[in-house]
Amino acid sequence: MKRAAYGIDLGTTNSCIARFTGAGALTVIPIDGGPTVPSVVAFDGREWLCGRRAANHAMLEPHNAVRSIKRHMGEEHYRVRLGGEELSPVQVSAKILAYLKAQAEAAIGEAIREVVITVPAWFNEPQRRATVAAGEMAGLTVTRIINEPTAAALAYRADGAREEAEERWLVYDLGGGTFDCSILAVSGTCKEVLASCGNTFLGGDDFDHRIVLHLVDGIRDRDGIDPSADPLAMARLRHLAEQAKIRLSTEVEAPIHDHFEIGGRHLDLVTALTRGAFNALIEDYLESTLAKARQALEEARITAANIERVLLVGGSTRIPKVQERVAQALGIEPEAYVDVDLSVALGAGAQSALDAGLSFAQVVVDIAPHALGVAALGDEDERSAAALVARGLFDEDGPAEGAWDHHPLTFVPIIRKNTRLPARFVEEFYTSIDEQGVIEVAVYQGESRNTRDNVHVGAFFVPLPPMPAGSPVQIGFEYDRNGLIQVSVSEKGGALKRYTMDLNRSAAGNSEPALRRRPLTVDEGSEDGDGSADEAAGVLNFLIERVERRLAEGPEEAHPEVHELLASYRQQLAAGDDERLDGLEEALYAWLDASGEEEERLSAV
């Protein structure tokens, strides 16, 4: 029996780990004498440093330190050179997580294995997979990835929300590297995300950078020295800029004094930054966050007047101008009674406790932040499948070498942005040539009609029996709360082929997420393919869970036939009668679809 559960906020600037104990206490574990540690990794010539020691070392040897690595999560080819090694963002993040794990274990005298890790709501699948891979590399089992603003909302009490009265909350999360805005419907203990918008390249780091540019301009004008080519001077200026920014949250003017040696010349920097000047430097950034907040309101189909509470999350919301602009734009005083640096980790700890069965205090429903779909020949394409065949990219045996680089341009969403998770949708496509032989299911994520502007998540090929052009093929996506995608492909009259595409798992020890351009596990009929039994059971239980949830929405005695179906399904699950299971599964899905699930059918190739 578990006694504790853990949640980690792996931040751009700082990271934090929270612990929920069976006794009901939710606290942050202090590390290095503080609640949060800098997300910095350094190498001092002898050993790896993390946290505060690494941040200090970064001031002396900036070229031997890495900060804000989160900004590169999911970039397949990005590497930093450190300690004589080429490290991927996953490897650097793994060092931060391993440090948090080891230090927290030393502090509490208990082994930490299973954790919930948070990510910006706006993170795409490759970024989420990279986060899971980093956790696994650090020796952790990542039981769930949750969105930072959703986690923060979990750390807040819903006291205003009575059972029957639903409240709307807006979470404004501005940290060191990312901005997220989520709208939630809160009713009693249930928190449901309605919409999320954000920018994974906007935060306190950018504000520091603006101050640095401002200081560099001043130095050039006043002293005729250009510090921008000197990494040591730039690291020092960045530190001074951040300190001045933080000071301006409580004072109206921040003095900036330091002594530099740049290219053999001495420089005495004696200047000051006023709050007014700083506000002007970051004004456009703040306006862009408010534009995202308006977009989130629009997507949630409400206006600012419908918002009951605005919660501030992330270190950069301490900036008075941020609070002022948020209050002005939304017409409501924002609140931050849970520490803006800790609420995300505390919420991750709360989620971990819910998952471990240590707490039943809340229910959370989250959404898919981006649309997920496939590439298909359509409006956006100048090419046709016949042209691909003519160019030797497809033949009856499957794809030719290099065909991967030639996905069609048209993106057909199957699961739309802001869809509640878990979700299941099916689209109908058509083969484009006679005897096509194979179709490529290329999965993309994003909002653009053109796949080139979206993120390529993965792809696989499905062999087809001989069919004339225009034969229908159905592609279904099932997306669970953990980002596990089950893709089913079926052709009329043919056996259903099921392909599992686990976007969150990576092979243990691998430096990068495992999903690549390789065929996915094939599950014909009821075979599991190479997917584990657990995985299959997870998908099946997911179906039961959804049916139960849908049944619970109506009166208790409604749909006796579905209750019966569900009972037989459970029985057959125990008995392992695959043929009957298939039929029952189809019937349950049909009922789910008929009872309100939106199914869209678009025609494409």
d(CA 421, CA 483): 9
Distance, first Cα to last Cα, the chain: 52
Q: Could you tell me the smallest distance in angstroms from the CB atom of residue 322 to ligand AMP?
A: 8
Q: Could you tell me the smallest distance in angstroms from the CB atom of residue 149 to ligand AMP?
A: 12
Which listed residue (4, 6, 12, 172) binds ligand AMP by CB under 6 A? Answer: 12
Q: Could you tell me the smallest distance in angstroms from the CB atom of residue 94 to ligand AMP?
A: 19
DSSP string, 506-559: --TT-SS-S--SSPPEEEETT--TTS-HHHHHHHHHHHHHHHHHHHHTS-TTS-
Q: Could you tell me the smallest distance in angstroms from the CB atom of residue 227 to ligand AMP?
A: 21
Q: Could you tell me the smallest distance in angstroms from the CB atom of residue 247 to ligand AMP?
A: 8
User: Does the annotation count 492 as an active-site position?
Assistant: no
Nearer to ligand AMP, 269 or 319 (CB): 319
Nearer to ligand AMP, 294 or 321 (CB): 321
User: Does the annotation count 497 as an active-site position?
Assistant: no
Which listed residue (74, 314, 413, 483) binds ligand AMP by CB under 6 A? Answer: 314
Q: Which residue has the tokens 């020796």?
A: 139
Nearer to ligand AMP, 247 or 416 (CB): 247
User: Does the annotation count 44 as an active-site position?
Assistant: no
Q: Could you tell me the smallest distance in angstroms from the CB atom of residue 249 to ligand AMP?
A: 4
| b/e map 20-34, b = 16+ CB within 10 Å | bbeeeebebbbbbee
- Residue 70 binding ligand AMP, by CB under 6 A: no
SS3 146: strand
Q: Could you tell me the smallest distance in angstroms from the CB atom of residue 454 to ligand AMP?
A: 27
Cβ–Cβ < 8 Å for 579, 568: no
Catalytic residue among 70, 245, 292, 497: 70
Nearer to ligand AMP, 175 or 446 (CB): 175
Q: Which residues contact 308 (CB under 8 A, 6 or more apart)?
A: 160, 167, 168, 169, 332
Which listed residue (59, 185, 232, 246) binds ligand AMP by CB under 6 A? Answer: 246
- Residue 11 binding ligand AMP, by CB under 6 A: yes
Strands 363-365 and 190-199: parallel
Q: Could you tell me the smallest distance in angstroms from the CB atom of residue 423 to ligand AMP?
A: 30
- Residue 51 binding ligand AMP, by CB under 6 A: no
d(CA 413, CA 563): 32
CA of 446: how far to CAs of 298, 372, 456, in Å? 18, 7, 9
Cβ–Cβ < 8 Å for 171, 200: no
- Residue 242 binding ligand AMP, by CB under 6 A: yes
Q: Could you tell me the smallest distance in angstroms from the CB atom of residue 507 to ligand AMP?
A: 30
Nearer to ligand AMP, 205 or 512 (CB): 205
Which listed residue (62, 74, 198, 315) binds ligand AMP by CB under 6 A? Answer: 315
How far from chain centre, in Å, is Cα 340? 20
User: Does the annotation count 417 as an active-site position?
Assistant: no
Q: Which of 210, 217, 218, 319 is nearest to 271 (CA)?
A: 218
**Among the candidate windows 18-26, 230-238, 312-320, 360-368, which touches ligand AMP by CB under 6 A?**
312-320
SS3 204: helix
Cβ–Cβ < 8 Å for 414, 359: no
- Residue 118 binding ligand AMP, by CB under 6 A: no
**Among the candidate windows 214-222, 225-233, 243-251, 547-555, which touches ligand AMP by CB under 6 A?**
243-251
**Among the candidate windows 8-16, 121-129, 416-424, 591-599, which touches ligand AMP by CB under 6 A?**
8-16
**Among the candidate windows 53-61, 255-263, 314-322, 522-530, which touches ligand AMP by CB under 6 A?**
314-322
DSSP string, 221-274: HHH---GGG-HHHHHHHHHHHHHHHHHTTT-SEEEEEEEEEETTEEEEEEEEEE
Strands 14-21 and 4-10: antiparallel
Q: Is the dihedral of CA 501, 505, 510, 513 positive or negative?
A: positive
d(CA 493, CA 498): 15
Nearest residue to ligand AMP, by Cβ distance, number only: 204
Nearer to ligand AMP, 176 or 408 (CB): 176
Q: Could you tell me the smallest distance in angstroms from the CB atom of residue 387 to ligand AMP?
A: 48
What one-letter code names the amino acid at 345?
A
Give the number of residues in contact with ligand AMP, rule: CB under 6 A: 18
Which listed residue (62, 126, 176, 446) binds ligand AMP by CB under 6 A? Answer: 176
**Among the candidate windows 89-97, 184-192, 313-321, 563-571, which touches ligand AMP by CB under 6 A?**
313-321
Instruction: Find the angle CA(277)-CA(283)-CA(285) to the nearest 5 degrees.
Output: 130
- Residue 352 binding ligand AMP, by CB under 6 A: no
CA of 489: how far to CAs of 423, 494, 541, in Å? 16, 10, 21
- Residue 316 binding ligand AMP, by CB under 6 A: yes
- Residue 341 binding ligand AMP, by CB under 6 A: yes
List 218's β-bridge partners, or say none. none
Q: Which residues contact 514 (CB under 8 A, 6 or more apart)?
A: 505, 506, 507
Which H or E run includes 426?
strand 423-430
Record the tokens describing residue 110, joined without a space. Answer: 């208990």
Record the tokens describing residue 407, joined without a space. Answer: 């996905």
Catalytic residue among 173, 440, 478, 523: 173
Which listed residue (144, 318, 456, 497) binds ligand AMP by CB under 6 A? Answer: 318
Nearer to ligand AMP, 38 or 126 (CB): 38
Q: Could you tell me the smallest distance in angstroms from the CB atom of residue 532 to ligand AMP?
A: 36
Q: Could you tell me the smallest distance in angstroms from the CB atom of residue 332 to ligand AMP?
A: 22
Catalytic residue among 95, 125, 136, 148: 148
Mask 479-498, x = binds ligand AMP (CB under 6 A)? --------------------
Record the tokens describing residue 516, joined without a space. Answer: 């690549």
What one-letter code names the amino acid at 136?
E
Cβ–Cβ < 8 Å for 183, 366: no
- Residue 323 binding ligand AMP, by CB under 6 A: no
Which listed residue (249, 359, 418, 471) binds ligand AMP by CB under 6 A? Answer: 249
**Among the candidate windows 124-132, 238-246, 292-300, 459-467, which touches ligand AMP by CB under 6 A?**
238-246
Q: Which of 365, 358, 361 is nearest to 481 (CA)?
A: 365
The site for ligand AMP (CB under 6 A) is made up of 11-14, 175-176, 204-205, 242, 245-246, 249, 314-316, 318-319, 341
Among all residues, which ones are annotated catalytic?
Answer: 9, 70, 148, 173
